Chains A and B, each alone.
Chain A
Amino acid sequence: MTHDHSHPPPQPDHPEPSSDYHFLGMALRELLIEKGVFTADEERRVIEVSESWSPARGARIVARAWSDPDFKARLLTDGRATAETMGVEITAPELVVVENTEQVHNVVVCTLCSCYPRSLLGLPPKWYKSTDYRKRVVYEPRSVLAEFDTHLADHVEVRVHDSTADMRYLVLPRRPHGSDGLDQKALAALVTRDSMIGVTEALSPQP
């Protein structure tokens, strides 16, 4: 299992396009800029904003929720407004935060396409968008979780969330044992992207 928080950055030196659809994307962008639909500067800003979105944003919110019960209660009721009080802007119409407990483990999917809380977690991983994940996690979630080395006790209820409309989802993983003395920065370092999708738990602190 990877403990790496630094996902590979997008490649500025992009590989040569190999299909007409790569060229189509380029053609679209050139024509739309020429026709004044948007400017190259506006495009660059959009890309910069997308690049600034990473799982660190979601991790900060989780760390705060672990440390502050009042914040957590508000987060579970009104995810978007509460996250924004931390200065984390959410682009989704609404954010539903679902809490993992001793009784319930949550996992998120978009079976119909790839809806994902991008402003909190960055771009979705390839597997989240894959047909295999979208097919399987709704009817055999534990089998899928096992592939992520996640094994839940038999008594735990697994709850799958299918992101079919305007809500976006963040799983609030369980606070790991042994993390009591840690400050929010150290807690955030334990919160991985995959734990906020729900396919894994958060990391344990170093002994």
Chain B
Amino acid sequence: MTNSDTPPAKVHDLGGEPGGAAIDRAERAVTFWEQRVDALLVLLADRERRIMDVAELRRGIESLGPEAYDSLNYYERWAASIASTVVEKGIVTQAELDQRVAEIRARKTAGQ
């Protein structure tokens, strides 16, 4: 497998890392909220807005840390990265996000 003496790989740098298992070939449809997260990046990165570049998405995902990379699924990592980027850029505040997440959770609990 890997034969480099460089420092331990960052969590996303997976080529040649040990521990790879049999490939799970099951198809899994993208859910509606995942389509919306996907669309978020497309809209933020498009030529008209240029609010975010895909490189920033990747950097944000890489800096989530190994625990997040293990416990969050693909689009959850996207959501986390996009959130931290738009907060960094002052487009939304962390407080606004936290409050809205709480409201949405309350809505869902109330069955809306």
Contact = CB atoms under 8 A, between A and B. Distances in A.
Indicate if A touches B (C-beta under 8 A): yes
Interface of A: 7-17, 19-32, 35, 37-38, 42-43, 46-47, 50-51, 109, 111-114, 123, 125-127, 129-136, 138-139, 144, 147-148, 162
Query: What 8 A-B pairs have minimum CB-CB distances, sorted nearest first?
Result: A14-B32, A111-B15, A135-B20, A21-B76, A27-B100, A136-B20, A8-B29, A25-B79
Contacts of B72: 19, 21
Contact of B33 (A22, A111, A123, A130): A22
Nearest to A27: B100
B24 A10 contact: no
Contact of B23 (A16, A21, A112, A147): A147
B13 A111 contact: yes
A131 B30 CA distance: 18
B75 A25 contact: yes
B101 A112 contact: no
A111 B76 contact: no
Interface string B24-49: 11111111111111111011100001
B101 A126 contact: no
B100 A31 contact: yes
Contacts of B28: 8, 126
B23 A132 contact: yes
Contact of A132 (B20, B27, B92): B20
Contacts of A28: 37, 40, 79, 82-83, 86, 92, 97
A35 B92 contact: yes
B32 A125 contact: no
Given A37-B49, A50-B42, A134 B24 contact: no
Interface of B: 1, 12-40, 42-44, 49, 51, 58, 61, 72, 74-76, 78-80, 82-83, 86, 91-92, 96-97, 100-101, 104-105, 108
Contacts of B108: 16-17, 23
Nearest to B21: A132
A148 B23 CA distance: 9
A29 B37 CA distance: 8
A38 B49 contact: yes
B28, B33, B38, B42, most chain A CB atoms within 10 A? B33
A112 B79 CA distance: 18
A178 to B, nearest CB: 26
Contact of A133 (B16, B23, B33, B49): B23
B15 A50 contact: no
Contact of A9 (B29, B39, B76): B29
A148 B91 CA distance: 45
A164 to B, nearest CB: 9
A16 B22 CA distance: 30
Nearest to A136: B20
